[in-house]
Amino acid sequence: MASTAYAVYCFEVLAASLENRQALTLSQVETLWSRYSSSTQAEDDGEELDNYDAEMTEDEHDEGEGEDEVKVESIERDNSSLQPLSNSTLRISSPATGSSTPSTLSTTSSQAALDSISKSSSKSSIFSFGQKQQVAPPKEEEYPLFVTWNTVNWRGHKSLRGCIGTFNAVPLSDGLKSYAMTSAFEDTRFSPITLSELPTLSTNVTLLINFTPCSGPLEWNVGTHGIKISFTYHGRHYGATYLPDVALSQGWTREETMISLMRKAGWSGRSSEWKKVGGLKCIRYEGNATTLGYPQYREWKTWAESRPKE
């Protein structure tokens, strides 16, 4: 599952690079994001509760007007039925019948049993003293992934600013950091992202899952699958991919998507002849994505910086 903390981390890595400072680690970001989310949720719940209490107070006030005073009669309790338990007798349920039968356990026997347990515990404590249990750290998750940067104008329209990833499974801490930077600075389709652009950015992190070879180039669904193609044309090998959200956001059909993807790979043939390209292979996959805009990152960062040092 792609956590929002992954997108926060990508922003943190990019902002730290542009601002010439040390970035927080993925683990630190995940911890702080979890606390931030909990605190904001608690504030929202508190506001809802305050509003509910205010409404209830008004309702009670309205209902109370003109009503007679309600008298509450006291209820006396019969304390005579409460019998103290003997300190040397314990009633237990019989395993055979399940009924409650008296079973006498003398104080002397109880003390002997307790002494025996105490001695056993002491021996165990002596033998275990100074021995530290070695707990192996949890293995970090690994995924193929892509990091996408977009600029967002004042109307909310997004424009691609960089997108690079890998189909090899990589540890998330290394992969997110590496491709957040690579897609921001090394996507050859664009100039490197600058500090002045930071407030206009949004990022999308996509973890790739469920890779399946297609029996045909159109055996996939728009809005569900990303596709990766490879083919040979005039003795040269080509390949490219579109993430699951691309075709849907562009309003393309599967055939239009395939032609565009082949163009992206470098094919220059006629659109009507795309099916004639030999050796066309297609793999479909799904993506688990999370998106975050700079304003959300900035709000979290301000909260994190205002917290007392631990």
Lowest mean pLDDT among 129-133, 155-159, 293-297: 129-133
Q: Is the pLDDT of residue 214 over 80?
A: yes
Higher-confidence residue of 259 and 81: namely 259
pLDDT tens for 172-196 read 999 999 999 999 999 999 999 999 9
pLDDT in the model for residue 51 = 57
pLDDT in the model for residue 88 = 33
Higher-confidence residue of 71 and 143: namely 143
Strands 100-104 vs 89-93: parallel, antiparallel or unpaired = antiparallel
pLDDT tens for 219-275 read 999 999 999 999 999 889 999 999 999 999 999 999 999 999 999 999 999 999 999
Q: Is the pLDDT of residue 300 over 80?
A: yes
- SS3 letters for 4-62? HHHHHHHHHHHHHHHCCCCCCCHHHHHHHHHHHHHHHHHHHHHHHHHHHHHHHHHHHHH
Is the Cβ–Cβ distance between 252 and 218 less than 8 Å? no
pLDDT tens for 9-67 read 999 999 999 999 999 999 999 999 999 999 887 666 555 555 545 555 555 545 444 44
pTM of the model: 0.70
In angstroms, the Cα distances linking 220 to 86, 154, 196, 213 are: 76, 35, 40, 10
SS3 180: helix
Under DSSP, the state recorded for 193 is: P
Is the Cβ–Cβ distance between 270 and 277 less than 8 Å? no
How many whole angstroms from its chain centre is CA 289? 10
Q: How far apart are CA 106 and CA 89, in angstroms?
A: 7
